[in-house]
Amino acid sequence: MTANKALDEITLSTESIFEGKVISLQVDTVQLPNGNTSKREIVRHPGAVAVLAIHNDRILVVEQYRQALGRTEVEIPAGKLEKGEQPEEAIKRELAEETGYRCDQVTLLNSFYTSPGFADEIIHLYLAENLEAGELNPDDDEFLEVTEITLEEAYEQIRDGRISDAKTIMAVQAWHLIKVTGKPSL
């Protein structure tokens, strides 16, 4: 879907550079609107889900080491979509795996692209309430700590840099909006 066709680029060729477990990298040669050509490096990603899980007027967060950052990060529970998996199924799976909590009903808050300048990753952000405790079941390569924090603690962790990823900051803002208006969106 393009709003302004005059800005479209035409893909002339695609070269696959890397195929990984989570992402792939390609370089496209494109024709620009002025007729010139350019290269575009593109990361392909299967998509992901993230959840604003509210329990006892606190949100569930996980702290885990992030190799790309070289440190731990506090984030909302999230994970990539498995092949053929629907986002609503994936969010329930990820919530249970990362926190041990289960939820029968989730509400889609928004879907957004993380870095459209070079990646096609889309994250579907859900709201989960009325949680039921269960057993934590992280992936074999996942080491994390689950905690519950208040809105004020979330803002404090954003200010001190412990929370610095866009999906978690967006979820905290959505939670604030829910608290103020009673609705998850305007």
Q: Which of 9, 19, 142, 145 is catalytic?
A: 142
Cα separation, 119 vs 14, in Å, equals 15
The H or E element that residue 91 is part of is helix 87-99
The H or E element that residue 181 is part of is helix 166-181
**Residue 31, both tokens:** 């024709």
Which residue, chain included where needed, has tokens 């709003």? 3
Determine whether 142 is an active site residue: yes
Q: Are 25 and 44 in contact (CB under 8 A)?
A: yes
Q: Give the residue numbers annotated as catalytic, written as ranges.
A: 142
